[in-house]
Amino acid sequence: MKKVIAVLPGDGIGKEVTQGAVEVLKAVANCFNHQFEFVYSSMGGEAIDQYGVPLPAETLTICKDSDAVLMGAVGGPKWDHVPPSVRPEKGLLQLRKALDVYANLRPISVHAPLADASPLKKEYVTDVDFVIVRELTGGLYFGTPSERREENGEQTVVDTLHYTRAEMKRIIKTAFDIALLRRKKVTSVDKANVLESSRVWREVAEEVAKEYPEVELEHMLVDAAAMELIRCPKRFDVMVTENMFGDILSDEASMITGSLGMLPSASLSVKGPSLYEPAHGSAPDIAGQGKANPIAAILSAAMLLRHSFGLKEEAAVIEKAVEQALGAGYRTADLYAEGQSVISTSKMTQEIVDAI
Amino acid sequence: MKKVIAVLPGDGIGKEVTQGAVEVLKAVANCFNHQFEFVYSSMGGEAIDQYGVPLPAETLTICKDSDAVLMGAVGGPKWDHVPPSVRPEKGLLQLRKALDVYANLRPISVHAPLADASPLKKEYVTDVDFVIVRELTGGLYFGTPSERREENGEQTVVDTLHYTRAEMKRIIKTAFDIALLRRKKVTSVDKANVLESSRVWREVAEEVAKEYPEVELEHMLVDAAAMELIRCPKRFDVMVTENMFGDILSDEASMITGSLGMLPSASLSVKGPSLYEPAHGSAPDIAGQGKANPIAAILSAAMLLRHSFGLKEEAAVIEKAVEQALGAGYRTADLYAEGQSVISTSKMTQEIVDAI
Ligand SMILES: CC(C)[C@H](C(=O)O)[C@@H](O)C(=O)O
Ligand SMILES: CC(C)[C@H](C(=O)O)[C@@H](O)C(=O)O
């Protein structure tokens, strides 16, 4: 198979962890006789420094012309005070919108050798295995008006939570499709007791559910969901929700595993390249020190192979190699516990490459 | 002291737990020679059944004429399918708005004898002690438009996140005032990398901070806050945030303690009566069975004495009585662990009354 992968390392540890992912992808290409071409491009704070904007036109073209996009992380204190319209995060939002990657998938599963790393008691986290499906291109993130106003002499501000029914339908269908391949349960999260948009969301979820008689649908209010993620994370199989709720709940859920450095994500489009990135941020405090955990980026690369290229076996090989490295007791600093060997980003990458 | 307390038991276990709180208040009145008059009124599902609306005009008048309002909980499956405009929750929102109770205070602290009840490991929860200050009368909950629309032949829906600068200022000031009496640290939670309203929020927080040089202010993004509440809940002293973020984060935070049945809340107005209610819901599944934990309602009554009547000593007496009952090993079903005696709502109330 011959494919072009756009690589956007971004800022901070983004660079180190994408390098790890690329090395792993090269190892897979070698073993399975694929040809992956990697096209690097600039994005986030780095792009601001070079081009004055977080998502240069050339970067977007490279992404659009690729078969899949692998991203690191963007942002850092250096750019915290640039105007909002050219912040690193703005580049990420523009990229999501331009690629129309409407479905953000965040698998949350607890790797057996790491069950102790969680702030939660072991009996709460063992066997946790679910996916959060977050709508990524609508809602409060993109609705207009989003502006300051004067109303009767008072200074006010509004943001707008906007959705079309069609946007709701496609993300909820994606969740049901994923549930079909899993334990066949969808938890749809909304705030239907307060928001009109959530009431429409609930209606659409009911409509979609009719097309999937084998899948069980439950509705849950977002505040209850924030509790249930801690009280009983095992109960979830596929959770689907709108953009802002998904942002909050998926970060909360990442703590169940206690190892944010392990969590990949995929942002899928209907057609055109999808976007893969670790769930963690750019961690400027440890950047460039070889301390970063490359596993989230490496598992994101596995998702890329599975979802964008249909390479299931290759994806599984990466995932097994990760388990093997962990099983052998190798840990990056973020996962350290007594009796284990702390290794660097590149050494962890090498262990995983060797296991492939 | 002579005071009038409006009591809105509401639905489900709301009735049982407010009864517990009223008995405790009567005991305090006896010991300290106060006169509390309790005026009962109908609200929520019960009011829908009787009057067709969740907040009858008479109930609102009784509340406005009182010195403080003690509420149970509203809602239940029976009213899940009534139109949104007359749902039990709508009554609660109307009451909050009508009383202008803009500041919802939710203390999160771990009672030493219950540290084991948390899904989190003991070392994460021991000594946790913070307050969430949630804005309660603005934001997505009350902004307009909140409606379905047709746009270019497409079915769409919007909700509006609306704030005045003045609304932000008063809630943030409240948080700083509370911090002054505590460990002098405020964590202001927003989503300033995406929302214009959050950028204004952050500016206002900076402005207010200048008036409180002894208080440390930190900003935190809402997704990061959802993680930090689990990763390191001890780090918080006072957390302040807008309405919807506060709804989600305060329910998440309630899980840290592992005992939602223990958590009180106060919703304060600038002038006029404030509103006190347990953090838990109406729990229709266990209603009427004497299983409910009355402690959240009883501690809400303690908050009422402290915040509305300035009766600090009396409030402390209630809080000590609760610790005493727990220390003696008494538990309602929700808190049960091996080796303890499970007792009913009324027996728990009696234990606390006796301890007073
Ligand atoms: C960086 C930020 C704009 C982004 C978001 O809120 O979507 C991040 O938190 C995420 O979850 O990918
Ligand atoms: C019942 C509901 C409208 C309410 C809210 O969202 O404010 C509840 O969840 C709460 O937190 O008091």
The pLDDT tens digits of the residues spanning A141-155 come to: 999 999 999 999 999
Q: Which of residues 177-206 of A touch B (CB under 8 A)?
A: 191, 193-197, 199-200
The predicted structure's pLDDT at residue A115: 83
How far is it, in rounded angstroms, from Cα B172 to Cα B135? 9
What pLDDT digit, counting tens, does each position of A69-86 carry? Answer: 999 999 988 988 888 788
How far is it, in rounded angstroms, from Cα A60 to Cα A124? 42
pLDDT surpasses 80 at A60? yes
pLDDT surpasses 90 at A335? no
Distance of CA A182 to the CA centre of its chain: 19
A237's tokens:
């199989």
Q: What angle do CA B252, B13, B77 make, to 5 degrees?
A: 80
The predicted structure's pLDDT at residue B307: 96
- Its pTM stands at 0.96
A223, A312, A336, A354: which is the annotated catalytic residue? A223
The predicted structure's pLDDT at residue A113: 81
The 3-state secondary structure of chain B reads CEEEEEEEEECCCHHHHHHHHHHHHHHHHHHHCCEEEEEECCCCHHHHHHHCCCCCHHHHHHHHCCCEEEEEECCCHHHCCCCHHHCHHHHHHHHHHHHCEEEEEEEEECCHHHHHHCCECHHHHCCCEEEEEEECCCHHHCEEEEEEEEECCEEEEEEEEEEEHHHHHHHHHHHHHHHHCCCCEEEEEECCCCCHHHHHHHHHHHHHHHCCCCCEEEEEEHHHHHHHHHHCHHHCCEEEECHHHHHHHHHHHHHHHCCHHHCEEEEEECCCCCEEEECCCCCHHHCCCCCCCCHHHHHHHHHHHHHHHCCHHHHHHHHHHHHHHHHCCEECHHHCCCCCEECCHHHHHHHHHHHC
The predicted structure's pLDDT at residue A111: 84
Residue type, B142: F
pLDDT band (50, 70, 90) for residue A330 = very high
Size of interface A-B (CB pairs under 8 A): 166
How far is it, in rounded angstroms, from Cα A250 to Cα B184? 30
Architecture of domain A119-144+154-257: 3-Layer(aba) Sandwich (3.40)
Instruction: Give the number of the ligand closest to the Cα of residue A252.
Output: 1
> So where are chain B's domains?
1-107+260-356, 119-257
A64 is catalytic: no
Work out the number of other CB atoms within 10 angstroms of the CB of residue A292: 32
pLDDT surpasses 80 at B338? no
pLDDT surpasses 90 at A117? no
* Chain B interface includes A96 (CB < 8 A): no
A15, A26, A251, A320: which is the annotated catalytic residue? A251
The predicted structure's pLDDT at residue A332: 93
Residues in chain B, overall count: 356
CB < 8 Å & 24+ apart, contacts of A50-58: A52/A86, A53/A86, A53/A91, A54/A86, A54/A87, A54/A88, A54/A89, A54/A90, A54/A91, A54/A92, A54/A94, A55/A90, A55/A91, A55/A92, A55/A94, A55/A95, A55/A98
pLDDT surpasses 90 at B347? yes
In A, which residues are within 8 Å of B119 by CB distance? Answer: 120-121, 124, 230-231
Q: B119-257 maps to which CATH number? A: 3.40.718.10
In B, which residues are within 8 Å of A247 by CB distance? Answer: 191, 222-223
B174-206 b/e (C-beta count within 10 Å ≥ 16 → b): bbbebbeeeeebbbbbbbbbbbbbbbbbbebbe
Q: Which residues of B are annotated as a binding site?
A: 76-89, 96, 106, 134, 223, 247, 251, 281-293
pLDDT band (50, 70, 90) for residue A120 = very high
The predicted structure's pLDDT at residue A178: 97
What is the B137 CA–ligand 2 centroid distance (Å)?
11
Architecture of domain B1-107+260-356: 3-Layer(aba) Sandwich (3.40)
In A, which residues are within 8 Å of B151 by CB distance? Answer: 164
Domains A1-105+263-356 and A119-144+154-257 share a fold: yes
A295's tokens:
């596993």
The predicted structure's pLDDT at residue B86: 86
DSSP string for residues in A67-123: SEEEEEE---GGGTTS-GGGSHHHHHHHHHHHHTEEEEEEEEE--GGGGGGSSB-HH
What pLDDT digit, counting tens, does each position of A151-171 carry? Answer: 999 999 999 999 999 999 999
Q: Please name every residue paired with B108 in a beta bridge, in sequence order, or none if there are none.
A: B130
Average pLDDT over residues B249-254: 96
What pLDDT digit, counting tens, does each position of A175-197 carry? Answer: 999 999 999 999 999 999 999 99
> Quick check: helix, strand or coil at residue A154?
strand
Residue whose Cα lies nearest atom 4 of ligand 1: it is: A89
In B, which residues are within 8 Å of A163 by CB distance? Answer: 156-157
How many alpha carbons fall within 13 Å on the CB side of residue B159? 25
Contact by Cβ (8 Å): A71, A18? yes
- Choice between B81 and A273, residue whose per-residue pLDDT is larger: A273
Residue whose Cα lies nearest atom 8 of ligand 1: it is: A247
B121 and A121 within 8 Å at the Cβ level: the answer is yes
What pLDDT digit, counting tens, does each position of B305-330 carry? Answer: 999 999 999 999 999 999 999 999 99
Contact by Cβ (8 Å): B45, B88? yes
> Quick check: helix, strand or coil at residue A66?
coil
* Chain A interface includes B252 (CB < 8 A): yes
What pLDDT digit, counting tens, does each position of A291-310 carry? Answer: 999 999 999 999 999 999 99
What pLDDT digit, counting tens, does each position of B112-139 carry? Answer: 888 888 999 999 999 999 999 999 999 9
- Say which residues have a Cβ less than 8 Å from residue A156's Cβ, sequence separation at least 6: A148, A149, A150, B162, B163, B164, B165
The predicted structure's pLDDT at residue A273: 98
pLDDT surpasses 80 at A336? no
Closest partner CB to B164 (pick from A156, A231, A244): A156
H helix intervals, chain A:
14-32, 45-51, 57-64, 88-99, 122-125, 165-180, 196-210, 222-231, 243-257, 295-309, 312-327, 345-355
Residue type, A217: L
pLDDT surpasses 80 at B205? yes
The predicted structure's pLDDT at residue B232: 96
The predicted structure's pLDDT at residue B66: 98
What is the B247 CA–ligand 2 centroid distance (Å)?
7
What is the A247 CA–ligand 1 centroid distance (Å)?
7
Average pLDDT over residues A28-55: 96
pLDDT band (50, 70, 90) for residue A280 = very high
What is the B280 CA–ligand 2 centroid distance (Å)?
10
Average pLDDT over residues A301-320: 97
The predicted structure's pLDDT at residue A116: 86
CATH superfamily membership of A1-105+263-356: Isopropylmalate Dehydrogenase (3.40.718.10)
